[in-house]
Amino acid sequence: MRLHRSVQAALAAGATLAASAGLLVGVGTAAHAATTGTPLPAHVFAPYYEAYTPGSLSGQATASGNKYLSMAFVQAATKGSCSVYWDGDTTTPIASSSFGSDISAIQAAGGNVIPSFGGYAADDGGTEIADSCTDVNQIAAAYESVITTYNVSRIDLDTEDNSLTNTAGIDRRNKAIKLVEDWAATNGRTVQFSYTLPTTTSGLADSGLAVLKNAVSNNARIDVVNIMTFDYYDGASHEMGTDAENAATGLEGQLAQLYPGKTAAQLWNSIGITLMPGIDDFGAGETTTVADAQNVQTWATAKGINTLAFWALQRDNGGCTGTAGSDTCSGIAQNTWDFSHALEPFTTGGGTTTNDFSLSDSPATGSVAPGSSATATVNTAVTSGSAQSVALSVSGAPAGVTASFSPASVTAGSSSTLTLSTTSAVAPGSYPLTITGTAASGSHTATYTLTVTGSTANDFSLSASPASGSVQAGAGATATVSTAVTSGSAQSVALSVSGAPAGVTASLSPASVTAGSSSTLTLSTTSAVAPGSYPLTITGTAASGSHTATYTLTVTGSNSGGSLVNGGFETGSLSPWTCQSGAAVVSSPVHSGSHALQVSPTAGTTGECDQTVTLLPNHSYTLTAWVQGPYAYVGVSGGATASSWANSTSWTQLTVPFTTGSTGTVTVYLHGWYGQGNVYGDDFAIN
């Protein structure tokens, strides 16, 4: 981090906070084939912990309610060294004797830590490992040593100051990331890397972008780009919460240029934001309030951002009002742990993750003459949870092309060879083949485009306009299905539709066209068709082969959709709510009527109660509820994500606006916070 600490702190710790570049990276060592570290939740709040200051790591985690912490910093003791230590201090090596019991305690409680390499002092003094060590293999070994010693699943690389312009160090760091990535895949480990970088209020500066561009050129996957939204030193007027959101929005646009193959959701889920509670190093003109943190948490949740953090846990108190840039307090009036409590709800899953994997092919294209063959490597990797068996298959191969895998089933983290054999009679052309990996968690696909050379064969394209439509049950919709000649001559194309659910009838007029002509798709629904979104596959079949297009039909139900049941608990029972242990319907206190809901958090649970309701898809609603008690949270999850909270000894109404997704289904919840007192809720309603 860009922190200008006191001389005493710099000498004692030899570290400040820094940005980090992250990926799964492989190291050629045979050691540490042990179990992989537990993956982090899909959305995690992990404030930085100053490892160089006195105090108990696990004790402060428990006191603040933080299950996840970023630990600063790991660095070399002297410039030119390839050995790393906590804070560059040779008395705290990377070993279980240094923080091992604290980290194990946090992991046993369902959390984890994110070790951070670098920091301002290391980046400034040349002791950041990739700047200090010129051997890429030893840099990768340092990363692997931290991963296996503490059984962690993410490494943070804080890169700023001189490390942003040390091109040799940048290249070594990203090459080491790639090595660790390969090692992790081979050993079935889940490892992520994050880069923590300085930012402007509109996104990364050129120096930060150069770090990421070098990662792309080295095939190093960066899982999270974490921006430090403080210490702008631009002399401008700042509203720090809004500036953080603007900086992240600018970063999303920059990442879209670097990674054009990623969806908007994937881009947002690779972004992290680090705040600095209270007054930063610049001074009072750059002050982040607890309200700013609450607003950023709500905004980040809606955007699907990956990580929230702040610098640093030891600052989360109001012990030095008016002081700028302190390591031990925020400089503003606040209660101890206010910033932690404002941001902790961002973590989803409480450390529990489902198994999942990714699928890719290399190369993704190939060209062959009829009668010859091509091969590609199909790679899998664990993206969350544990490694699972993945069955591989290929679809879309035209007549005369045979596809096979060796092996046909792999454990996530392993690879298979795809072999494509062609006969001499196969028609020349380009054929997109869909590679599908199927596991217990679901399926993922990758595309391999096979080009068969030779004379120009007949071919056509198929499209639908519009590609989607929404109707109320009992109504109908139409679309134009267009064909075009893409090579050779026009040919007859027979049209068909599949995927229509019960109550939906699809017809095409005409049912056969000459390539270059169009047909009208008519969709009729009955009043009994179930509301929902249905992807229909339109197939055009000709002598040259088949092509498909997708039309998504959304069927809506009644004008209002479903509603909450027993929102006032006047039945005297919890049904149909489902709750964690300790929940009950009580007669006091109540907001109205004779009953209310009581949830009872424990040290390990929030006491959550849920009810799933189905509303109209893609519609705006407002959830209201009355709550009482310490840290009462009301919100929706599932098909929409939004929440609000209150901390009051009297009844307080919370209002939560949200918009349903394509299914209209959301889960309404009430919960308290770990280790806090009972929370009460009454008069839940959705409007």
Tell me what pLDDT residue 215 has: 96
What architecture is the 578-686 domain classified under in CATH? Sandwich (2.60)
**pLDDT tens-digit readout, 210-251:** 999 999 999 999 999 999 999 999 999 999 999 999 999 999
Are 391 and 439 spatial neighbours (Cβ–Cβ below 8 Å)?
A: yes
User: Mean pLDDT of all residues in the chain?
Assistant: 89
To 10 degrees, what angle do helices 136-150 and 100-108 make? 60
Which uninterrupted H or E stretch holds 72? Answer: strand 68-76
What is the predicted pLDDT for the residue at 7?
27
Band (pLDDT 50/70/90 cuts) for residue 527 is low
502 residue type, one letter: A
**Which candidate, 19, 17, 27, 21, places its Cα nearest to that of 174?**
21
CATH class of the domain comprising 17-349: alpha beta
- Residues 642-682 have pLDDT tens digits of 999 999 999 999 999 999 999 899 999 999 999 999 999 99
Residues contacting 516, CB < 8 A, separation 6+: 483, 484, 485, 490
* pLDDT at 8 exceeding the cut of 60: no
Whole-number Å distance between alpha carbons of 89 and 77: 6
- State how far the Cα of 209 lies from the Cα of 229, in Å rounded to an integer: 16
Q: Where in the chain is the domain with CATH 2.60.120.260?
A: 578-686
The whole-number pLDDT of residue 353 equals: 46
Query: Residues 6 or more apart from 110 whose CB is under 8 A from it?
Result: 67, 350, 351, 352, 604
Contacts of 671 by beta carbon, 8 Å cutoff, 6+ apart:
599, 601, 606, 607, 608, 609, 633, 679
CATH 2.60.40.10 segments of the chain: 356-452, 459-556
Tell me the CATH number of domain 356-452, given options 2.60.40.180, 3.40.605.10, 3.30.420.40, 2.60.40.10: 2.60.40.10
| Mean pLDDT value of segment 246-261 | 95
Residue 14 has pLDDT above 50, yes or no: no
What is each CA distance from 670 to 3, 644, 674, in whole angstroms? 39, 10, 13
Query: Which percentage of the chain shows pLDDT scores above 70?
Result: 92
The whole-angstrom separation of Cα 484 and Cα 490 is 8
Instruction: Answer whether 609's CB lies under 8 Å from 578's CB.
Output: yes
Provide the 3-class DSSP secondary structure of residue 114.
Answer: strand
pLDDT at residue 15, as a whole number: 30
- What pLDDT is recorded for position 16? 30
User: In the chain, which segments carry CATH 3.20.20.80?
Assistant: 17-349
Residue 349, pLDDT > 60, answer no
The answer, yes or no, to whether residue 21 has pLDDT greater than 50, is no
Fold classification of 459-556 is: Immunoglobulin-like (2.60.40)
As a whole number of angstroms, the distance between CA 106 and CA 65 comes to 11
State the pLDDT confidence band at 273, using cuts at 50, 70 and 90: very high
